[in-house]
Structure formats: structure tokens, C-alpha cells
Amino acid sequence: MQNNNRKVFETIISRTKIYLAIILVLLVVICFERPEFIIPSILLYIAIVGYTYYANNKRKSEISETLQDLTLTVDSAAKTSLINSPFPLIILETDGSVIWRSSKFISEFANIDINTYINDLSIDIIDEIKNKEKIVDKDKKDIVRKLKIGDKIYKIMGRYVNVKNKDKDKKAKKEYMIILYFIDDTENVKLQKEYKDSKTCVSIIMIDNYEETLQRVEAEEKAQITAEIDKTIYEWADLTNGVLIKSDRDRYIYLFEQRYLEKIKEDKFSILDKIKEIDTKEKVQFTLSIAISNEGITDKEKYKSAEAAMDIVLGRGGDQAVIRENEIYKFFGGRAQEMEKRTKVKARVVAHALENLIKDSKKVMIMGHTNPDMDAIGSSMGIYRLAKTLDKNAYIVISENTPTIASFKASIDKDPEYEDVVINKEVALENIDEETLLIVVDTHRTNYVDAPELLEETKNIAIIDHHRRSADFIEDATLIFQEVYASSAAELVTELLQYSSKKIKLKTIEVESLYAGIMMDTKNFTFKTGVRTFEAAAYLRRCGVDIIRVKKWFQSDLESYNKIADIVKKAEIVNDTIAISINEEKGKDTNLICAKAADELLTISNITASFVLGYLGDKICISGRSIGDINVQIILEKLRRRRTYYTSRSTS
């Protein structure tokens, strides 16, 4: 009875319960005063509770009917909205089968084989759903896609829901129902494309070595040639409806809409070849350097970006074009032969470009070649000091402690500053990223760098080298300073340090390592030296060099000296000018002994080229040297096809 009463009272709303409690209290008070009213009070109270219960249930029934009518109305409205949706609508199952299509969907794609698009779309969406179920985004069930169907572009928006289903074995299987709206986004896409295409690209065009080249042309022909150059450039600019302004005798500012950028890329800057085809009596060839940028909000920012790109082009030797887009440099051209003359202007331009690259990077890593020598180490030390002066963290990658640099390594280990600076390739691979600038010194070959894996880990690479270009050149380097007429990489780095915008204060060990690099590659300033070589050496001397200390780094022990003497003694002379010998002993210092022996053979009268062979594990090491017309690099590159390890240096 008590349980039944509790259920009755639970169905009554809260306010009525209060009233019933008040009535009960009043009846109890009356019964205390007048006991004869006890039975009538009980009957009256039961009647009141019964009526209240009846009235409450009736009210709930009326509310339920009203809510049901409202729900049916909403469901009907929702169904009507789906059926008469102004957008094409489709409902799919997990397997891609279509449950329902709206009338708008049927009419919209009546003339298109839409099933192919739906099948591909459903596969893509199901893959996305499966991936979301595996990650934290699994509750995000919205679907957004863009798809071109026929001549229109649709923004596809929708949502998927779980549907319980069972297979034949009555096992629960996760299924989905996908509802998709197809919204015509063609006009919006066209407007966005038009906005992007109408943006301005800023370009700088320069005639390479204008003053120098024009001096080689006869006076009466100069006006005609300059007019022909102007005409050729203006005609090329007209193809893109651009605005070309000649700001100087050798410099043009070129503005055009971005819609023509792809056309210029497809054309591959034919202007570079057209300028070369301009005929002169003296057969002088003119070349152009072009830098284009669309990076920046204002035209001024784009112009500054184009200027920075031009520094890169000039640093790569000119006769080429570069497009700076999405923080990536894309190069075109660059097929002209290198000029034999080195200019201080180029060194200054490269120094400025290198500084900009260092400033734009988070950190700098410097890497030489395998079996590093003093030229590679000295160059690395100079670049390290440049990066530190520009307030960047810099590291030098040295994976091997070879006999060539053993004495120097012992000296540098005494300085605590370099304790965490010199790292191996394992540590370098852990710390390098896309925002790291990798500077390669004293080599440009992908298979000869200390750690080839580092080349794949960053898009910002600079090269400073003095060797002739090989076939396995590091592609897509941002900056290339390759001067085959320089004595050493250390000489090139010393020049760059002198043209830095900030005053570089070299430490003694850094000065001496640079000096040692020049000394080693010039054989104590006897081979391949020029005015610039001695200027670099003079600068280092002013910075303070202990020549005796440097000389000690190159000292050989008696055993190594006897090995070199034995190799020279056994040498055979071919064609009266070529010396060939073999190092029959095996050891860790085989490549060093072979290199020193090849250098020593060149000191013999009438010898213009030398080759020394040695055993290096399961490979053959060949060191070639030349002071004549023989290009030992070409010879050794042909031998490299047989997996021979080699070093070469032509001092001609």
C-alpha cells in the first residue's frame, strides 16, 4: 500500500504536493480539536488525492499529445526540406551504394555520368572515416570536399552517422550512413583565382658584366647593340602585358600579373637564349640575370624579395633566372660557360647573399668532404665564425678524425668553445631540419660530402668550392660560389669574411686553419696562386698567424715519410710526362699517403701529371695531380664507374 501511494505521489507535480501537505496538516489539526471529524477527514483527503491524481494524468496526456503533434510536424518539415532541398543531396551507405537522391540532385547531374564521381568520392570518404576512428578526431564527423564535376566545381559538405548492423553471423558490424550536399562553388573559385591571378609579380632584370662586355665592342656598334638588347627585352615583356622600366643602363624593373607566371615558366625564359643570339662583330656574348618574386603583401615587399633573389642569381654566376615563390627558389638557364676572370664584385655579392641566408635560418651546419683536409676544416672554421657573428648557432660536421687533421684536432680540442661545435653525422642528423642552412665547403659532389644524408633533410643548401664541376653535382643548391680559378676553398671563405657587413673578429685558431687550408692546396704558395691568393693570405697574416704552428700541423712522422719516398722510388714514367706508382701497403692512412706521394711526384722535372694507386678496403684508392694541360678529374671520373675511390687536384 505504501509503495502504491509513493508511486501515486511521484506522478503528481511538485506544487500540488505542497498543497496536499497543507490540507493534510489542517485536517490533522481539526481532528485533534474535534475527534468526530476523523473519519470524514480521511475520506475527504482520499477524495482530494484521487481527484488530483486524475487531473494530473489528464494534463500529462494532453501535453504528450501536443508534443507528438509537434514532433510529427517537425519530422514532416525536415522530410520536406530534404526532398525539396535547393542543393543537390545524396545519402550513401558504407559500401558506396546510394540510399536516396534528391530531385535537385537528379536534375543537376542528368547529363553527367555521376556514378563514377560518387564511387571515387565514397571510397575517399570511407578512408577518411577509418582514419578518424583511429585518432582523437573520431568525434568530428563533418565532411568537406571540393570536386570538379563537368564544367562546375562543387563544395561537398556533409556528415556521417553510425548505423548499427549485423552480418549473417549476427555479429555487430560498424556501418555508416553518409549525407552529402553538393553546393555549386564555381563562381567563388573563379573569383578567388581571378584575385590571385591579378596580383602583381615584381621582377628585376640585369645585363651581366655590362660595362666589361661593352668595352670589348667597337664604339660605333655600342648604340646599335644596346638598342637591340632593349628591343629584345621589351618584346619579351610585351608577351605578358607587363610594364618594363629601364632604371639603369644594365638594370630593368618588370611588373606583370601573376596569371602570366605559368606562361613564363613554360617558356623557360627563352629571353636568356635570345640575348645570347645578338650578333656582334667581335663575337661578344651578352647574358641576363632575372629574378622574379610574388612573395609579400605590398609591391615594395615583393621588390625586396626580388632583390634578395637577384643576389642569389649573381652568386650562382649569372646567365639564369630564378622565381621566388612559396619560400622556394626555382632556377632556369645557366648554360653559359664560366668566365675565367674572378671579380671582387662577385665576392661582395655572394657575401651579402650568404649573410641573408644565414640570417633567415634558425641554425647553420657546415660540412666538408669525406677524409677532410685542412682546406675543408679551415673553410668550415671561417664560416662558423661568420655565423656566430650573425648570432646564429653553428656546427661543424666531422665524422672522421683522419691523420690529415689529427694535429689540428688536438689543438682545437683544447679550446672549450668548440667542445659542442664539432659534431659527427649522427648528431647532425638528429638536429637538422628544413629551417637549417647547410653550407658545403671544398666539394660540390653528392657522394663526396661528409654526410650525404644531410642533403635530404634541408632545402637550404649553400656551396663554396674551387674544384671543377663534376657530374654528381649537388642539385637545387640555393647559393653556389664555385670558382675553379681560386687556389682553395679557404681563399674563397677568407674573401667572403672581408666583405661581411659586420666586422668579423677571427680567433687565432680560425685564422691559422684558414691559412693552413690555402698553404696546403697551393703547396706552400707554389702552385695555382694568383693576386687574390696572396691578398687573402695577407689579410690572414694581419689577423695574426703563427706560421711555425701551422707548419707543425703538416709534419709527417718518419714512417710515413719513408712510405712516400718508397712510392716515389717505384714510380714509372709514361709518355715522358706522367708518373704512375702504387702504394702496396694497407692502412688507415692509405688515401693520405697516396695524396702526398702524388704531390711529391709533381716536384720531379718534366712531370706534369701523377697518379698513385693504393688499397682502401675492398676498393682501390687513386690520387691524381696535375700541373699541365692534363685534366686528371676527367680521367678519374671515368675510372669511378668501376667503384674506385679517388681524389684529384689539377693545379693548372
173-188 burial, b at 16+ Cβ within 10 Å, e below that, comes to: eeebebbbbbeebeee
**Contact status, residue 645 vs residue 583, Cβ threshold 8 Å:** no
Cα separation, 626 vs 468, whole angstroms: 13
Is the per-residue pLDDT at 493 higher than 90? yes
Written as nine digits, the cell of 160 is: 556521417
Distance of CA 467 to the CA centre of its chain: 27
Same domain, 245 and 98: no
What average pLDDT score do residues 551-566 get?
A: 80
Same domain, 63 and 100: no
Give me the pLDDT at residue 82, please: 63
Same domain, 549 and 564: no
Give me the pLDDT at residue 167, please: 52
**Contact status, residue 186 vs residue 152, Cβ threshold 8 Å:** yes
Least confident span in 189-193, 340-344, 369-373, 610-614: 340-344
Written as nine digits, the cell of 261 is: 607566371
Least confident span in 145-154, 393-402, 486-495, 638-647: 638-647
Among residues 553, 582, 617, the one where a domain terminates is 553
What average pLDDT score do residues 314-320 get?
A: 73
Same domain, 297 and 352: no
Domain assignment of residue 343, yes or no: no
Give, in degrees to the nearest 5, the angle at Cα 496 between 492 and 501: 180
What average pLDDT score do residues 33-43 get?
A: 82
Give me the pLDDT at residue 650, please: 43
The band of 95, judged by pLDDT with boundaries at 50, 70 and 90, is low
**Contact status, residue 91 vs residue 179, Cβ threshold 8 Å:** yes
The band of 134, judged by pLDDT with boundaries at 50, 70 and 90, is low
Tell me the β-bridge partners of 623.
Answer: 612, 647
Cα separation, 303 vs 318, whole angstroms: 19
3-state helix, strand, coil in the chain (%, to 5): 50, 25, 30
Pairing of strands 363-367, 288-293: unpaired
CATH number for the domain that contains residue 259: 3.30.70.270
The band of 476, judged by pLDDT with boundaries at 50, 70 and 90, is confident
The band of 471, judged by pLDDT with boundaries at 50, 70 and 90, is low
Domain assignment of residue 342, yes or no: no
The residues, any chain, with a CB within 8 Å of residue 648's CB and separated by 6 or more, are 623, 624, 625, 632, 633, 636
Is the per-residue pLDDT at 237 higher than 50? yes
CATH number for the domain that contains residue 102: 3.30.450
Report the 3 state secondary structure along 148-217. EECCEEEEEEEEEEEEEEECCCCCEEEEEEEEEEEEECHHHHHHHHHHHHCCEEEEEEEECCHHHHHHCC
Looking at per-residue pLDDT, the higher value among 424 and 472 belongs to 424
Same domain, 352 and 500: yes
Pairing of strands 251-257, 243-248: antiparallel
Same domain, 187 and 203: no
Q: Strands across the sheet with 98-101, in order?
A: 98-101, 89-93, 172-184, 152-166, 142-149
The residues, any chain, with a CB within 8 Å of residue 326's CB and separated by 6 or more, are 295
Among residues 78, 103, 121, the one where a domain terminates is 78
Give me the pLDDT at residue 1, please: 44
Q: Show the beta-strand stretches assigned E in 411-509.
A: 422-423, 436-441, 460-465, 479-482
Give me the pLDDT at residue 30, please: 84
Q: How many helices (H) and strands (E) does the chain have?
A: 22, 22
Cα separation, 637 vs 346, whole angstroms: 30
Is the per-residue pLDDT at 329 higher than 60? yes
CA dihedral 87, 90, 91, 92 (to 10 degrees): -140
Give me the pLDDT at residue 469, please: 62
Give me the pLDDT at residue 473, please: 77
Give me the pLDDT at residue 8, please: 45
Same domain, 169 and 203: no
Domain assignment of residue 124, yes or no: yes
Domain assignment of residue 84, yes or no: no
The band of 341, judged by pLDDT with boundaries at 50, 70 and 90, is very low
What sign for the dihedral angle of Cα 182, 184, 186, 188? Answer: negative
Written as nine digits, the cell of 419 is: 667542445
Give me the pLDDT at residue 367, please: 94
Give me the pLDDT at residue 459, please: 87
Same domain, 143 and 42: no
The parent domain of residue 370 ranges over 348-553
344-366 burial, b at 16+ Cβ within 10 Å, e below that, comes to: eebbbbbbbbbbbbbeebebbbb
Give me the pLDDT at residue 591, please: 76
What average pLDDT score do residues 13-26 get?
A: 74
Q: Could you report the per-residue pLDDT of 427-459, keeping only the tens digit for each?
A: 999 999 888 999 999 998 888 898 999 998 888
Same domain, 244 and 289: yes
Looking at per-residue pLDDT, the higher value among 236 and 19 belongs to 236
Cα separation, 539 vs 493, whole angstroms: 12
What average pLDDT score do residues 605-619 get?
A: 85
On whether the pTM is more than 0.75, the answer is no
The residues, any chain, with a CB within 8 Å of residue 305's CB and separated by 6 or more, are 202, 293, 295, 296, 324
Pairing of strands 609-616, 328-333: unpaired
Q: What is the mean pLDDT of the chain?
A: 80
Domain assignment of residue 109, yes or no: yes
Give me the pLDDT at residue 349, please: 85
CATH number for the domain that contains residue 643: 3.10.310
**Contact status, residue 380 vs residue 488, Cβ threshold 8 Å:** no
H or E, element range at 611: strand 609-616
Same domain, 181 and 203: no
Query: Among 363, 423, 413, 426, which residue's Cα sits nearest to residue 391?
Result: 363
Domain assignment of residue 600, yes or no: yes
**Contact status, residue 599 vs residue 523, Cβ threshold 8 Å:** yes
Among residues 157, 175, 191, the one where a domain terminates is 191
The band of 464, judged by pLDDT with boundaries at 50, 70 and 90, is very high
Same domain, 403 and 356: yes
Is the per-residue pLDDT at 507 higher than 80? yes
Q: Could you report the per-residue pLDDT of 266-283, keeping only the tens digit for each?
A: 888 889 888 888 877 767
Cα separation, 336 vs 320, whole angstroms: 9
The band of 316, judged by pLDDT with boundaries at 50, 70 and 90, is low
Tell me the β-bridge partners of 616.
Answer: 619
CATH number for the domain that contains residue 467: 3.90.1640.10
371 backbone φψ class: left, alpha, beta (φ>0; ψ -120 to 50): left
The residues, any chain, with a CB within 8 Å of residue 407's CB and separated by 6 or more, are 552, 553, 555
The band of 12, judged by pLDDT with boundaries at 50, 70 and 90, is very low
Q: Could you report the per-residue pLDDT of 533-546, keeping only the tens digit for each?
A: 888 889 898 888 87
What average pLDDT score do residues 143-159 get?
A: 84
Domain assignment of residue 202, yes or no: yes
Written as nine digits, the cell of 410 is: 688536438
Domain assignment of residue 83, yes or no: no
Q: Is 201 exposed, middle or buried (0-12, 13-18, 19+ CB in 10 A)?
A: buried
Same domain, 531 and 571: no
Whose grid coordinates read 542528368? 110
Is the per-residue pLDDT at 177 higher than 80? no
The residues, any chain, with a CB within 8 Å of residue 334's CB and separated by 6 or more, are 316, 317, 319, 320
Query: Among 367, 318, 360, which residue's Cα sits nearest to residue 343?
Result: 318
Is the per-residue pLDDT at 122 higher than 90? no
The band of 205, judged by pLDDT with boundaries at 50, 70 and 90, is very high
Structural domain count of the chain: 5
Looking at per-residue pLDDT, the higher value among 332 and 395 belongs to 395
Q: Could you report the per-residue pLDDT of 43-90, keeping only the tens digit for each?
A: 888 888 888 888 777 766 765 665 555 455 545 655 666 666 778 888
Q: Concatenate the DSSP letters of all residues of 514-542 into one string.
A: HHHHHHHHTTTTTSS--HHHHHHHHHHHH
What average pLDDT score do residues 572-593 get?
A: 84
Give me the pLDDT at residue 631, please: 65
What sign for the dihedral angle of Cα 289, 295, 301, 305? Answer: negative
Give, in degrees to the nearest 5, the angle at Cα 89 between 84 and 95: 140
